[in-house]
Amino acid sequence: MKHTFADLHLRVNWKDQAATARMVTKAAALGYALIAVPLAPETRTEEIAQLRITCSDVGLDFAARVNLHPRSQNELLSQLRKLRRKFEVVCVLCETKEVSRQAAKDRRVDLLNFPLLNYHGRFFDRAEAELASSALATLEVDVKPLLILQGPTRIRLLACLRREVAVAREYRLGVVVSSGVSEVMHLRKPREMAALASLFGLDSAAALEAVSENPVGIVRRNREKLSSGFVAPGIRVVKGGKDC
């Protein structure tokens, strides 16, 4: 089966057009079909369209992503109300337990991302996984720290990720493996990302899903929701006018 590979966390300074073009070209050369770049909430629609063109020039599909880092539950709800319909992928950086729980149960959140090196600030436990599995959120794991860290710090991170991924799989919660890189040299091929994911306990099929079906599914679902004909999941307007 041919996979469509996606990287939902390519951190480029999109205002620097040369750097963006370099990164996007490299991603296409490495075999990705879809990328998402985190943008500032105030990014204008024209700027998003420009990025989409840059990507389509090299044969890449582009999804606009926003990273929310709210300090409270109310701030998260307010940001979601404002931004959900503007971006195709919404990721919440869960830095407090209150925010983590709200993000996990809110169906407008796509990705849950946890602070990498603050092990006491990673609130991904069974309760979180249970909430997320009944909503639509997915656990996102960035591989960048696995590339740049070494020794005890990496060992500790791997142990932490292994525990979290095991919990996620127990509750049938999707896992998305993203690069999270901002430098071209740190970009890896999708199958290499899957191999890195095997380090924290994903078997090869699940690891491949984490870089293909899972991220692509999120974008496809959200594009359908953002389309003008969408009414509710499974219901869409197919024809309008007086003769209906």
Query: Is residue 148 near other proteins by the rule CB under 8 A?
Result: yes
Stretch that binds other proteins, among 33-41, 122-130, 189-197, 227-235 (CB under 8 A): 189-197
DSSP structure string for the chain: -PPPPEES-----TTSHHHHHHHHHHHHHTT-SEEEEEE-TT--HHHHHHHHHHHHHTT-EEEEEEEE--SSHHHHHHHHHHHTTT-SEEEEE--SHHHHHHHHH-TT--EEE--SS-GGG---SHHHHHHHHHSS-EEEEESHHHHH--THHHHHHHHHHHHHHHHHHHTT--EEEE----SGGG---HHHHHHHHGGGT--HHHHHHHHTHHHHHHHHHHHHHHSTTEEETTEE----STT-
Instruction: Tell me if 205 contacts other proteins by CB under 8 A.
Output: no
Site size for other proteins (CB under 8 A): 18
- From the list 12, 196, 216, 219, which residue makes contact with other proteins (rule: CB under 8 A)? 196
Our finding on whether 175 is near other proteins (CB under 8 A) is no
Taking CB under 8 A as the criterion, the residue among 130, 133, 192, 221 binding other proteins is 192
Q: Which is nearer to other proteins, 84 or 188 (CB)?
A: 188
Which of 86, 105, 189, 221 binds other proteins (CB under 8 A)? It is 189
Least separation in angstroms between residue 217's CB and other proteins is: 24
Which stretches of the chain bind other proteins, using CB under 8 A?
A: 30, 146-148, 150, 185-189, 191-193, 195-196, 198-199, 204
